Amino acid sequence: MNRRALLLSLSVAALAKAGEAVIEPGREGEVLALLAPYQLGREVAAGWKLWNVRIGAREIVIELTAGPNEAAQITLSERAGAAEHSASFDLRRDTNAATDALVAAIRNNDRGGFWRTPAARPAPIASHARGTAWWPVGVALAVSAAMLWVARARRRR
C-alpha cells in the first residue's frame, strides 16, 4: 500500500451531543493550516514524516512515523486546562524533535476560536408517527390481493 496516499478522515459532527463544541465537516483545510509549514507525507524533523491526520468531531490526532516500528502522535482536543496547550487546544503528545516542531507550528498558527457549537437540531419524529406513509401501500396491496382472489374464484365457477 502506498503510504503517500495518506488518510485524512472526518467524522460526522452530528454524532456529537447537542450543545457540545465540535469540529464540523469541511474544515480539513483549516486543520492542515495549523500544521504549516509542514505537509502530509513530508519530513518534519530528521527521519520523521507527518504521516496521517485523523479529524473527529471532538479531537484531531496527528500521526508521525520514522519507519515501520517508530511512531509518535499528537492529540488536539478542546481546551480543558491541560498543562500543554495552544490558543484553542489541549495538547497530548509523545515527546521527540518531530512533535516539538509540530507543537511549535500549531501554537504559532492557532489564533483561537477554533471550536464551534452547532445550531440545535430539529426534534426527532415521534416513534408513533414513523412509518405512517407506508399504510396506503399496504392498503393497496391488500385490495389488489382481494381482487385477484375474487377474480380467480369467479373463473372456477
Domain ranges of the chain: 8-109, 132-156
Task: Name the grid cell of 99.
Answer: 512533535
The per-residue pLDDT for range 14-28, each reduced to its tens digit, is 444 556 888 888 999
The per-residue pLDDT for range 55-101, each reduced to its tens digit, is 999 999 999 999 888 999 999 999 998 899 999 999 999 999 999 99
State pTM to two decimals.
0.66
DSSP one-letter string for 33-91: HHTTT--TTSEEETTEEEEEEEE-SSEEEEEEESSTT-EEEEEEEE-S--SSB-SSEEE
Identity of the amino acid at 91: L
